Amino acid sequence: MTTPKPPAETGSTREAAPEGTATRRTIGLAVIGGACVFAATAAVPALVFVAAPLAKKGGESRWVRTVRLEQLAEGEPKRVAVIDDRTDAWTRERGVDLGSVWLVRQGANVLALSAVCPHLGCSVNTAPVIKDGFACPCHTSAFDLEGRRTSGPSPRNMDTLATRIDDGVVVVDFQRFRIGVPEKVRL
């Protein structure tokens, strides 16, 4: 007759891993840690890429070269196209027509006026009916040669822009302004 075997002892039946051997848990933690490091190295450049346009300051000046000073006749308004590069988030377009300005030579200085009517954004033109002035054809706003409102619904004068002369070329600080409001607010 055979004798029955005594019941197995309760407790751990797992043998301890020999020293220097990795357990399944250690390998799992190493894989998870490696995945986290990999995700962080990929996420940081991605976050910098996405946040880059947000870091740019809005309303920055845009100094644009226009025409040579000698091309402007004294006291005579001349409409000049503003052509420069345009950057929108990550896209840069070269040689884009951004708008136009009116330039009026006043001796060695130049007065620059935005060609956008402050009333509703129509294009302001010279007014043959008004001697030495500008008019908006949309709603009959009129302005003198200095850009001051003389009549019509425009809530303010024409928007002036800063200018400087660099090597004989008129350089304009081209900006856009909110329309339909009495104060000059940069966009």
Q: What is the structure's pLDDT at 179?
A: 92
Q: Are residues 79 and 138 in the same domain?
A: yes
Out of 8, 33, 55, a domain closes at: 55
Phi, psi of 161 (to 5 degrees): -125, 145
Q: What's the total number of domains in the chain?
A: 2
DSSP-assigned letter for residue 71: G
Q: What is the structure's pLDDT at 105?
A: 92
Q: Are residues 98 and 166 in the same domain?
A: yes
Q: Are residues 68 and 49 in the same domain?
A: no
Q: Are residues 82 and 123 in the same domain?
A: yes
- Report the predicted TM-score, pTM, of the whole model to 2 decimal places: 0.66
Contact (CB, 8 A) for 149 and 156: yes
Q: What is the structure's pLDDT at 47?
A: 77
Q: Are residues 67 and 44 in the same domain?
A: no
Q: What is the structure's pLDDT at 187?
A: 85
Residue 39 inside a domain? The answer is yes
Q: What is the structure's pLDDT at 24?
A: 84
Domain that holds residue 32: 21-55
Residue 3 inside a domain? The answer is no
Low-confidence ranges of the chain (pLDDT < 50): none
Q: What is the structure's pLDDT at 132?
A: 73
